[in-house]
Amino acid sequence: MLPYRAETPVDPPYWLAAPSKPKLKLPPGATDAHVHIFGPRNRFPFAKDRSYTPSDAPKEMLFALHALLGIEHCVIVQPACHGSDNSVTTDAVAATGQAYRGIALLPITISDAELDRLAAAGLCGARFHYMKHLTKGAAIDEVIAFGKRLAPIGWHLQIHMEAALIADLTPALTRSPVPVVIDHMGRVDASHGLEQPEFRALLALMEDKNVWVKVSGADRITRQGPPYADAIPFARKLVSEFGDRVVWGTDWPHPNHAGPIPDDGMLVDILAEIAPSERQRQALLVDNPQRLYRFAPAKRRAAATGAAS
């Protein structure tokens, strides 16, 4: 882990300064269900035990990106670099009047009062990592038991895991008392094809109607690079087979991305291949996320950003 100092040099930006405007017009109420916000760190310091120090990517940058892409709703996922102080996320959610919602990072020892406070602030789920490059968290059985405390406030669990762990974690995940959302298509390796054991394990897990998946991360599972032709079949199959339990996100500002830096306009345009029909895109981008995240009406972003919504 990195020693915490306010003046610690930051990583170069993981995002494009000028992403392209997508050719694909998104349906009204479209949702980006996976983004993060970094800083500004003079207001929201990074966690002392973080494993990376990103350049600032504040809420104003996110709002401007969404205006370009045609996004009305969003899910802001608390980034590991800010740890379990969820202030950077609750601040951004508040600026939208909860037209955007948030996902927390938190210890399972959190008090009921703090859970209630975060729920009132517009957060609706808790994320747990099972990734080698991120801080190790609670054991999966402890997380599933913790889910009993999330049920009364209408929260879900969000799981970010190595593809090799999908089969091992499945028995626990299928015992969850609340919905489970799997990040980034389970982080499978696209070069291994649709028949690989890891993706077959994900498909088997998705047979549980309590489990959802984010068809985000084409840029992470690809081994060919943009426009991610090797990754698209995985997302398309998930949308085709589990169309009522899929959501999508850009993953802006693409933390720890090894490159090439994703063009968020391109990530929107490949939705035409991931969800080829208007009906599929309506479910993926509007109906499913509204059912899972329960957004407030998108009416305050213009006031928050100074841009037309």
Active site residues: 251
Please check whether residue 127 is in contact with residue 143, taking contact to mean a CB–CB distance below 8 angstroms.
no
Question: Cα(309)–Cα(306) distance, rounded to whole angstroms?
Answer: 9
Question: Nearest CA to 57 among 37, 76, 80, 42?
Answer: 37
In this structure, how many other beta carbons lie within 10 angstroms of the beta carbon of residue 172? 17
Contact 84, 65 (CB under 8 A): no
What is the spatial distance between Cα 210 and Cα 205, in angstroms, rounded to a whole number? 10
Q: Which amino acid is at 168?
A: D
Cα(136)–Cα(153) distance, rounded to whole angstroms? 26
Distances (CA, A) of 168 to 132, 158, 284: 16, 16, 28
- Lookup: tokens for 6: 């306010």
Q: State the first-to-last Cα distance of the chain, in angstroms, to the nearest integer.
A: 40
- Give the closest residue to 214 by CA, choosing from 161, 171, 169, 262: 161
The tokens for 168 are: 């091992």
